[in-house]
Amino acid sequence: MNKPLAAGLETLRRALATMPESPGVYRMLDAAGDPLYVGKAKNLKKRVTSYANVGALSHRLQRMVAGTASLEVVTTKSEVEALLLESNLIKRLKPHYNIVLRDDKSFPYILITGGHAYARITKYRGAKSAAGEYFGPFASAGAVNQTVNALHRAFPLRSCSDSIFAGRTRPCLQHQIKRCAAPCVGRIGESAYATLVDEAREFLSGRSQHIKARLTERMTAASEALEFETAAAYRDRIRALAHIQARQGINLHSLQDADVAAIHQSGGQSCVQIFFFRGGQNFGNRAYYPRHQKEVGGGEVLRAFIGQFYNNRTPPSLLLVNRTIEERELVEEALSLRAERRVRIHRPSRGDKSSMVVDAERNAREALARRFSESAAQRKMLEALADKLELDGVPERIEVYDNSHISGTDAVGAMIAAGPEGFIKKAYRKFNIRSDAAPPEEGGISAGDDYGMMREVLTRRFSRLLKEDPERAQGAWPDLVLIDGGAGQLGAARDIFAELGVGDVALAAVAKGPDRNAGLERIFLPERQPISLRRRDPALYFIQRLRDEAHRFAIGTHRARRARGAARSQLDTIQGVGPSRKKALLHHFGSARGVSQAGLADLERVHGISGALARSIYDHFHANA
């Protein structure tokens, strides 16, 4: 037995001496205190004891035990509570040996607002804190936007905010294009508007056939009464409803509220496709790629996915799956506790439900195949880049740096990262250039000094890496750094690397061609002549993609900083306008520009703005008028 494994076993034995025999959650930690694994147990002592039997452990579990330097436990009242806590901790801590759900973004909903005589219908994302009725989730913002637009054609409800609604004196453009009944100016009565709201609610709840039949009756009656404009309006509403259903694809009225989760595994990776059905309507689907060890089976991955996916979401009453879920009754009980009603997990074998599961599994298989194809293409481009730049090996992480400013003002630096899986968005970094505020004689950067900006950005980035990850064990160090620029930028980067003692990170600078033409770039490398690549060279195409992404990110960062600076410069210099009054002004007029264009009487109406202060604000913006 090797020394690390023996040390890990000794850690477990010491912990077992005081381990309770109650339900709970245990955490295995490495020497740095980082979590290796989080697990739940009905009997903590019995479960942890099983790790001491080395002969029965897989190689993966032996490695985990060998890395264990300490163990922490939390007892719970029941195994269900332990399961819920386990899912929460895995999602938050992302231990190395657990199955971890990544890219867990929130889903958008459609909201019919409450608390107002004339409800509005709108897209909503985030905590369900606003009053009203929520319909969803939808798989994407695009699906919600398309559905809301079609709903406004079918049920012309308002979409404006309450403040805009209260201030209208004539109908807006939405009324002119027949997407709002204009209740703000009395073009529709409260009872008739409430009927529209009820119909929209019924449609979103799955009773679409009743609504379409009712509208068809009204259309026929209007046509027979020779009210052809009214009949045409009903016809357009029916078409809008048909458009929504056609775009949703497969709709199963027998399914009502259910999620369909299917997994496909290949090459040691997994893809889980989840479809959302609400009221018999298909609200879209999304693919997930949980992180896990290669030998973990599909049922185990799907079980972990369910626990983490519904950790902060309310599950529907039915969840259809394509794998047998271990401890299914326990998982159902945990989901039911979260939903505050019964939740059932079912693996269908025939009928419409089985067809939907098969369809979801096919989508998972195709999505994973696309992911492999994209990864293979990315790997080929990385290999081509390594070959052209004569790197020691294929880079696993590339960092690209760019600056953005206008004559040196609001200067920002930007860094993007890329690897075998594509762009690593979570690793992107922004740098507000700090030394541009000081004059050059005091160590600041003169206006337009791109070299000085790059030196500051690289110094801050790699000084932090040397401090936080000197052993380069966290995967945050790049193998290649690309600089947007030419020989001067490359020289500035080399000087910083030499000063910090960074000698094993490859450097290259990419200069735009004559007249900034794409395809004529020159690549500058340390101690080598600049090279140019053929226009259709895959390596050049890859470099252009990296540079363009860095430029896009830098420009966006600069614009955001400039916008914040504009708001500050216009309001923060006015005597008597502090944070609260500034907030009141921006809320009332919408922007600093709106404040600058406001009349004196309008300024006096803002809460907290006295007549004298209103005069000061007005004079500030109209001093030269």
First to last CA, the chain: 87
What is the reported pLDDT for 485?
85
Q: Which residue has the tokens 């002592």?
A: 45
Q: At what angle do helices 450-468 and 487-500 cross, to 10 degrees?
A: 30
b/e per residue 362-380 (b: at least 16 CB within 10 A):
ebbbebbeebeeeeeebee
DSSP E strands: which ranges in 525-581? none
pLDDT band for position 85 (50/70/90)? Answer: very high
Is the model's pLDDT at 560 over the cut of 80? no
What is the reported pLDDT for 29?
93
The number of CA neighbours under 13 Å toward the Cβ of 22 is 10
Q: What is the DSSP letter of 500?
A: H
Name the nearest CA neighbour of 396 among 427, 431, 368, 429. 427
What is the reported pLDDT for 177?
82
Least confident of 87-101, 397-411, 469-483, 547-561: 397-411
The CATH class, in words, for 398-563 is alpha beta
According to DSSP, the residues that pair with 24 across neighbouring strands are 41, 75
pLDDT band for position 87 (50/70/90)? Answer: very high
Portion of the chain with pLDDT greater than 70, in percent: 89
As a whole number, mean pLDDT of residues 130-151 equals 81
Using CA atoms, how far apart are residues 50 and 40, in angstroms rounded to an integer?
13
What is the reported pLDDT for 140?
75
Q: Where are the chain's structural domains?
A: 3-93, 109-247, 258-369, 398-563, 572-621
Name the nearest CA neighbour of 485 among 474, 494, 473. 494
Is the model's pLDDT at 452 over the cut of 80? yes
pLDDT band for position 261 (50/70/90)? Answer: very high
Surface-to-core class of residue 246, CB atoms within 10 Å of its CB (0-12 exposed, 13-18 middle, 19+ buried): exposed
What is the reported pLDDT for 170?
87
Q: At 341, list the tokens.
A: 């009603």
The CA distances from residue 586 to 168, 567, 596, 621, in Å, are 20, 9, 11, 15
- Dihedrals phi, psi of 211, to nearest 5 degrees: -65, -45
Using CA atoms, how far apart are residues 170 and 181, in angstroms rounded to an integer?
12
Least confident of 3-12, 204-213, 262-271, 513-522: 513-522
What is the reported pLDDT for 539?
86
Using CA atoms, how far apart are residues 47 and 23, in angstroms rounded to an integer?
10
Q: Is the dihedral of CA 393, 400, 547, 367 positive or negative?
A: positive
The CATH class, in words, for 572-621 is mainly alpha
Using CA atoms, how far apart are residues 81 and 79, in angstroms rounded to an integer?
5
Q: What is the largest CA-CA distance in the chain?
A: 93
What is the reported pLDDT for 569?
57
3-class state of residue 149 by DSSP: helix
Instruction: Reply yes or no on domain 3-93 having CATH 3.30.450.40.
Output: no
User: Do residues 138 and 132 make contact, with C-beta atoms less than 8 angstroms apart?
Assistant: no
3-class state of residue 416 by DSSP: strand
Q: Confirm whether 258-369 and 572-621 share one CATH topology.
A: no
Using CA atoms, how far apart are residues 354 and 351, in angstroms rounded to an integer?
5
Check residues 429 and 129 and name the one with the higher pLDDT.
429
What is the reported pLDDT for 252?
58
Q: What is the DSSP letter of 439?
A: -
Tens of pLDDT, residues 368-401: 988 888 788 888 888 889 988 988 888 989 999 9
pLDDT band for position 104 (50/70/90)? Answer: low
Tens of pLDDT, residues 31-81: 988 999 999 999 999 999 999 888 888 888 999 999 999 999 999 999 999
Q: What is the DSSP letter of 443?
A: T
**Cβ within 8 Å of residue 204, ≥6 positions away:** 110, 112, 135, 151, 278, 279
Please give the model's pTM, rounded to 2 decimal places: 0.64
User: Do residues 165 and 184 make contact, with C-beta atoms less than 8 angstroms apart?
Assistant: yes
Is the model's pLDDT at 602 over the cut of 60? yes
**CA gyration radius, the chain:** 31
Average pLDDT over the chain reads 84
Portion of the chain with pLDDT greater than 90, in percent: 30
Is the model's pLDDT at 440 over the cut of 70? no
Tens of pLDDT, residues 515-530: 555 567 889 999 888 8
Q: At 455, list the tokens.
A: 């030196």
Q: Which long-range contacts (CB under 8 A, 24 or more apart) does 380-388 make?
A: 380/538, 381/538, 381/539, 381/541, 381/542, 382/419, 382/420, 382/542, 384/537, 384/538, 384/539, 384/542, 385/480, 385/539, 385/542, 385/543, 387/539, 388/523, 388/531, 388/533, 388/537, 388/539
Fold of 258-369: Nucleotidyltransferase; domain 5 (3.30.420)
Identity of residue 397 = R
Is the model's pLDDT at 438 over the cut of 60? no
Least confident of 214-223, 409-418, 516-525, 539-548: 516-525
Tens of pLDDT, residues 177-236: 888 889 999 899 889 999 888 888 888 877 767 777 777 888 888 888 888 877 887 787
As a whole number, mean pLDDT of residues 404-432 equals 81
Residue 160 has a CB neighbour count (10 Å cut-off) of 17
